[in-house]
Amino acid sequence: MEEIIISSKFIAYNNTDELPNQTQNLFKQATLAQKNAHAPYSKFRVGAAILLDNGEIILGSNQENAAYPSGLCAERVALYQAASNYPEAKILEIVITAAPEATGIASPIPPCGSCRQSIAEYETKQETPIAIYFMGEKGKIYKSESLKNLLPLIFNKKLL
């Protein structure tokens, strides 16, 4: 038997003022996108902003549907739009903001499992890491230099 230990590294920021200007702007954009969420069931609004290497910023918000699981998370809305409109561009950063309608949440909200797998697909495709920043409505901001911190045992095309 062998024990395998996998560790992850994150950077925690106290507020957006500590971030580079371009990332602060992405947080502003993601917060605006969050207002466009269609979340009548969960009442949990999520916004995402993606910075591409061509300078484009792509936004997404969660879109729920009464016929579960037909809705999409903000991250995948933005990812698929980026891939559809700029298929050769590399994703540099993804910023995610989340807030429930009723109460404030101070914990950073990471991408769900489906979004992690989708981000993994693009990180594998472009062969360069994607920086992922995420926060709740308030409180600390977490940064991961790569999806591998959130999903260390990535399932990708190399396993097929």
Q: Is 56 a catalytic residue?
A: no
Residue-wise over 138-152: b if at least 16 C-beta within 10 A, else e?
A: eeebbbbebbbbbbe
Over the stretch 109-159, which tens digit does the pLDDT of each residue have?
A: 999 999 999 999 999 999 999 999 999 988 999 999 999 999 999 888 888
Q: Is residue 3 included in any domain, yes or no?
A: no
Q: Is there a binding annotation on residue 49?
A: no
In a domain, residue 6? The reply is no
Residue 153 lies inside a defined structural domain of this protein? yes
Is 63 labeled as ligand-binding? yes
**What Å distances lie between residue 70 and 41, 49, 62, 66, CA to CA?**
13, 22, 11, 8
CATH value at residue 54 = 3.40.140.10
Range of the structural domain that residue 116 is part of: 11-159
Q: Are strands 91-100 and 131-135 parallel, antiparallel or unpaired?
A: parallel
Name the catalytic one among 56, 75, 127, 137. Answer: 75
Domain total in the chain: 1
In a domain, 109, yes or no: yes
pLDDT attached to residue 3: 95
Q: Do the annotations mark residue 24 as ligand-binding?
A: no
1, part of any domain: no
Position 69, amino acid: P
Q: What is the mean pLDDT of residues 67-80?
A: 94
Rounded alpha-carbon distances, angstroms, from residue 159 to 63, 132, 137 = 31, 24, 37
